[in-house]
């Protein structure tokens, strides 16, 4: 009887052990390197598995925030928020190890350098905010690989050159914030594909050419801001189809 009881105990222990998912060690290593690179150890001193249950840094209101998906045997980091904490330097390569990221908010910091083309590897991303930084260089066309994006922001940066036509691949996009980002040239015709777009902030850029007629086909638009550009009129008659507009 004692042997049988002991066997059941061992079986129960094994069930508990194997039921506890652990985080992908490559992601843990990458996260810790980023924490140290951005000197965040005082605010995000993760000394255990970052995906432990009920972690304080996983709370929706936490900043910095790290949240995970532990549905399978391995946990993956899906949310990373480091907002308005004055982190500086370039976007580190370790970020692109977190290929399960769905929500990344690095807004209102002092990040510089360009957006690495590896950003296109984060193909599960739904919310991406890089606004209010000192990022430079061209807007990478690899952003067009993030076809699950619902919201994209790179406002208030120092980019150069035109918007990549590949942004027209983001057909699920509902919000696009690119005001004061430094981009120039014509608004790509491929933006006509953004049929789900509800909010477009594109003010204070050196856009040139005619005010795009295709904006009239983006009938989900509620907010359209284009002031402070070099766009020329007249306002296309197609704009009369934008029956959901609340802010023009």
- 52 lies in some domain: yes
The model's pLDDT over 72-98, given as tens digits with 9 standing for 90+, comes to: 889 999 999 999 999 999 999 999 999
- 248 lies in some domain: no
**CATH of residue 110:** 3.80.10.10
- 12 lies in some domain: no
- 74 lies in some domain: yes
- 109 lies in some domain: yes
- 13 lies in some domain: no
Contact 201, 179 (CB under 8 A): yes
SS (H, E, C) 180-214: CCCCEECCCHHHHHCCCCCEEECCCCEECCECCHH
- Boundaries of domain holding 74: 25-241
- 17 lies in some domain: no
The model's pLDDT over 147-168, given as tens digits with 9 standing for 90+, comes to: 999 999 999 999 999 999 999 9
Contact 183, 163 (CB under 8 A): yes
Instruction: Report pTM.
Output: 0.91
- 200 lies in some domain: yes
The model's pLDDT over 159-198, given as tens digits with 9 standing for 90+, comes to: 999 999 999 999 999 999 999 999 999 999 999 999 999 9
How much is the average pLDDT of 205-224?
A: 97
Contact 196, 171 (CB under 8 A): yes
Count of domains forming the chain: 1
Report the pLDDT value the prediction gives residue 233, as an integer from 0 to 100.
86
């Amino acid at each position: 009887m004692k042997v049988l009881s002991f066997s059941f105990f061992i079986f129960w222990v094994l069930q508990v052990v194997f039921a506890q998912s652990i985080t992908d060690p490559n992601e843990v290593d990458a996260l810790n390197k980023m924490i140290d690179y951005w000197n965040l150890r005082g605010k995000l001193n993760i000394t255990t598995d970052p995906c432990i249950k009920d972690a304080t840094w996983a709370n929706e209101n936490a900043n910095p925030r790290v949240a995970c998906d532990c549905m399978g045997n391995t946990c993956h980091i899906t949310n990373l928020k480091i907002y308005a904490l004055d982190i500086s330097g370039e976007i580190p390569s370790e970020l692109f190890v977190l290929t399960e990221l769905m929500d990344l908010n690095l807004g209102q910091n002092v990040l510089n350098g360009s957006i690495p083309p590896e950003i296109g590897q984060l193909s599960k991303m739904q919310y991406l905010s890089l606004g209010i930084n000192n990022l430079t260089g061209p807007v990478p066309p690899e952003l067009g690989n993030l076809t699950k994006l619902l919201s994209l922001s790179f406002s208030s940066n120092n980019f150069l050159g035109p918007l990549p036509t590949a942004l027209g691949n983001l057909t699920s996009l509902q919000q696009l914030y690119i005001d004061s980002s430094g981009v120039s040239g014509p608004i790509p015709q491929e933006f006509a594909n953004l049929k789900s777009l509800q909010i477009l902030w594109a003010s204070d850029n050196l856009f040139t050419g005619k005010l795009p007629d295709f904006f009239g086909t983006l009938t989900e638009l509620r907010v359209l801001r284009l002031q402070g550009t070099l766009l020329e009129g007249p306002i296309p008659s197609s704009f009369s189809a934008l029956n959901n507009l609340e802010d023009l």
